[in-house]
Amino acid sequence: MASSALISDTESWKDLRAHVEEINKTHLRDLMNNNNRCQSMMVEFDGILIDYSRQRATLDTLNKLFSLAEAARVKEKIIRMFNGEHINSTENRSVLHIALRAPRDAVINSDGKNVVPEVWHVLDKIRDFSERVRSGAWVGATGKTLKDVVAVGIGGSFLGPLFVHTALQTEAEASECARGRQLRFLANVDPIDVARNITGLNPETTLVVVVSKTFTTAETMLNARTMREWISSVLGPLAVAKHMVAVSTNLKLVEQFGIDPNNAFAFWDWVGGRYSVCSAVGVLPLSLQYGFSIVEKFLKGASSVDQHFLSAPFEKNIPVLLGLLSVWNVSFLGYPARAILPYSQALEKLAPHIQQVSMESNGKGVSIDGVPLPYQTGEIDFGEPGTNGQHSFYQLIHQGRVIPCDFIGVVKSQQPIYLKDEVVNNHDELMSNFFAQPDALAYGKTPEQLQKENIPEHLVSHKTFSGNRPSLSILLPSLNAYNIGQLLAIYEHRVAVQGFVWCINSFDQWGVELGKSLATQVRKQLHASRKKGESVEGFNFSTKTLITRYLEASADVPSDPSTLLPNI
């Protein structure tokens, strides 16, 4: 395919389009009868088992998807990514989050320079710093150990670390290492988030980590100034040096903010924000909480999947298979959404993190060459842990819209409970649902079955399940730091594969800019109206009315600085 031609004009794409008719003739309950098909739709790597037999696909579909991958030059694009080529062309950058978790002796070049030694230089610095803080060798301004950490950051500088932290919190080894310590995340510029995060904390024993790739993000910088104020109002301005550190690619702005550059942890422009959890963005706060050796296991898990992604043939390549199946669901079967359903409370922040990774990466309107696309890219990701979701939105998934689901289960619970009078243990109960739901979606329930059960006639249609609803099952052996790293990398690379097939740039995010610049205009107006009494001008009727109402109705809100600190 020539670089400017559209993937949707290729024979492979057209072939898949035509193939939909074929697939529409078959119900999943019939496809599931073919054991050979099902067996070949299971793939295993490094302890992880993926079962995609409940996708509305046959082996023929898979072969056609492999042809599409060839037409889109997916293999070549993967290699270019690993080789550090500037595949993020609109920002003229490499995309090398894989280098963040590469072994110390690996060689990964960006712009002719091996980046691995720099990565390990920062990792060693984090190991050293986090050990000093945890052991009490580094103390706060009043000589007390810093046992609590508030990580200030938003978007990619927040969601990934929050996901990993939430997943590790109940893991036996990690929680033992975190004993007596707290890690909190301040993301939203909403003052309520400030209040919630500092309530119960003492500045004397708190370390604030300001995390921002650019160090210009409005919300993060305001929250960082608020935290600086919180510390210095109690401990004096000199205490900031002992109580605030930073993670950024922009070390100049870190220094201007007043954080000692020696206490700044660098990363690089070849790390996209939403792909940055394996950089100091995640590694620093997580090492402070759990110790570096736990976080190193997380990096190793991710690295193992990186190697698999680079080297496994497509037929056995988990991120490639999952990515191609997502393209099949979105672009050919026409399903615009995907539900991420972990049967593990520890994975409750997986869906919010993948939402950003996937939707910010692949929600694009033009090809990587800037050509408007005649097909939709990206999907609407959402999710909640099971079984909670079953009692909430699953009704729609079972009888309303068709939404391909990712079911994620874990063989060994982080916190097993065995009650002596119960038939099954608590984790078995959870997993019974994990195994049952995909079949309920795939098979459904026919009117004939209901009639045999003597269901009253007027309820038969209400109780009918059409079935034929696709899902895939991901079974992890356990949920430790290593497995969490594997899961992360599977999703990251899957998103990349989708973007490679759709021929978009999955590594920029121009779509977030417009709203930000309009907010700047509003911010100026709020300031001018409040301080100088200027009337609201330069907005459309609707926005002017709303802003005016806001200003008028909030005129009596006190502006005494002391009221900005928590009141709960």
Ligand X SMILES: O=P(O)(O)OC[C@H]1O[C@H](O)[C@H](O)[C@@H](O)[C@@H]1O
Is 516 considered catalytic here?
Answer: yes
From the list 144, 316, 516, 527, the catalytic residue is 516
Contact call for residue 273 and ligand X (CB under 6 A): yes
CB of 363 to ligand X, least distance (A): 11
Beta strands at 48-51 and 182-186: parallel, antiparallel or unpaired = unpaired
Longest Cα–Cα distance of the chain, Å, equals: 78
Angle, helices 74-82 vs 59-71, to 10°: value is 60
Q: Which is nearer to ligand X, 178 or 357 (CB)?
A: 357
Number of residues that bind ligand X (CB under 6 A): 14
Q: Which region among 131-139, 150-158, 168-176, 236-244 touches ligand X (by CB under 6 A)?
A: 150-158
| Residue from 171, 360, 379, 492 binding ligand X (CB under 6 A) | 360
Half-sphere exposure of 242 (CA within 13 A, CB side): 22
Beta strands at 337-342 and 380-382: parallel, antiparallel or unpaired = parallel
Residue 380 pairs in a beta bridge with 337
Main-chain phi, psi angles of 276, to 5 degrees: -100, 5
Contact call for residue 509 and ligand X (CB under 6 A): yes
| Residue from 58, 214, 433, 548 binding ligand X (CB under 6 A) | 214
Q: Which H or E run includes 499?
A: helix 481-502
- Measured distance CA(145)–CA(134) in Å, rounded: 8
Q: Which is nearer to ligand X, 155 or 285 (CB)?
A: 155
Residues 6+ apart with CB under 8 A from 197: 150, 184, 185, 186
Q: Which is nearer to ligand X, 54 or 213 (CB)?
A: 213
Residue pair 95/87 in contact (Cβ under 8 Å)? The answer is yes
Is 360 considered catalytic here?
Answer: yes
| Residue from 156, 160, 282, 444 binding ligand X (CB under 6 A) | 156
Q: Which is nearer to ligand X, 55 or 217 (CB)?
A: 217
Q: Which is nearer to ligand X, 50 or 224 (CB)?
A: 224
- Measured distance CA(340)–CA(234) in Å, rounded: 43
CB of 272 to ligand X, least distance (A): 7
Tokens 């249609």 identify what position? 461
CB of 67 to ligand X, least distance (A): 33
- Measured distance CA(283)–CA(288) in Å, rounded: 8
| Residue from 213, 353, 364, 427 binding ligand X (CB under 6 A) | 213
Residue pair 501/323 in contact (Cβ under 8 Å)? The answer is yes
Nearest to 407 by CA among 394, 425, 395: 394
CB of 336 to ligand X, least distance (A): 21
From the list 391, 462, 524, 527, the catalytic residue is 391
Q: Which is nearer to ligand X, 156 or 499 (CB)?
A: 156
Site string for ligand X, 434-473 (x = CB under 6 A): ----------------------------------------
| Chain contacts with ligand X (rule: CB under 6 A) | 154-157, 212-214, 217, 220, 273-274, 360, 509, 512
